[in-house]
């Protein structure tokens, strides 16, 4: 059974600081997704990572994937208040791209 763990579960950081969210998964997979969820809202797709060493960047967020370590990271650079949200990673089962297993989420709070 595929298990996905995120840490930390909660992150409070000041504006302007850098931090990394980690996503570990237990079995082989060829795709990993990052989503953002604002309170009371749905999930918004941020990144999809499809190969070992893949790196994607959008604004202050950068995601990477190490399939050998079964680890993905979401790095936040110079955080701003607008980044406050819950971030989820989700892993696709090998050969079953449509079945996603989600992590528990990391609630990010950026303080002024």
Binding-site ranges for another protein (CB under 8 A): 4, 31, 33, 35, 41-45, 48, 50, 88, 90, 92, 97-105
Measure the CA–CA gap between 56 and 33, rounded to whole angstroms.
11
Measure the CA–CA gap between 13 and 104, rounded to whole angstroms.
19
Measure the CA–CA gap between 42 and 30, rounded to whole angstroms.
25
Q: Which is nearer to another protein, 10 or 18 (CB)?
A: 10
Q: Which is nearer to another protein, 47 or 79 (CB)?
A: 47
Measure the CA–CA gap between 55 and 104, rounded to whole angstroms.
22
Q: Which is nearer to another protein, 9 or 78 (CB)?
A: 9
Contact predicate 10/101, CB 8 Å: no
Q: Which is nearer to another protein, 92 or 110 (CB)?
A: 92
In the bound complex, what is the minimum distance in angstroms from residue 12's beta carbon to another protein? 18
In the bound complex, what is the minimum distance in angstroms from residue 53's beta carbon to another protein? 17
Q: Where are the beta strands (DSSP E) in 15-105?
A: 19-25, 32-37, 43-49, 55-58, 61-66, 71-76, 85-93, 96-102
In the bound complex, what is the minimum distance in angstroms from residue 16's beta carbon to another protein? 30
In the bound complex, what is the minimum distance in angstroms from residue 27's beta carbon to another protein? 16
């Amino acid at each position: 059974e595929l298990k996905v763990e995120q840490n930390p579960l909660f992150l409070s950081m000041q504006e302007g600081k850098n931090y990394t969210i980690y996503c570990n998964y237990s079995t082989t997979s060829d795709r990993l997704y990052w989503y953002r969820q604002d309170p009371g809202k749905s999930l918004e797709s941020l990144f999809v990572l499809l190969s070992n060493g893949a790196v994607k960047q959008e604004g202050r967020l950068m995601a990477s994937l190490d399939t050998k370590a079964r680890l993905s990271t979401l790095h936040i650079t110079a955080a701003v208040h607008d980044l406050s949200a819950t971030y989820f990673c989700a892993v696709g089962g090998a050969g079953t791209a449509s079945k996603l297993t989600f992590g528990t989420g990391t609630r990010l709070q950026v303080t002024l």
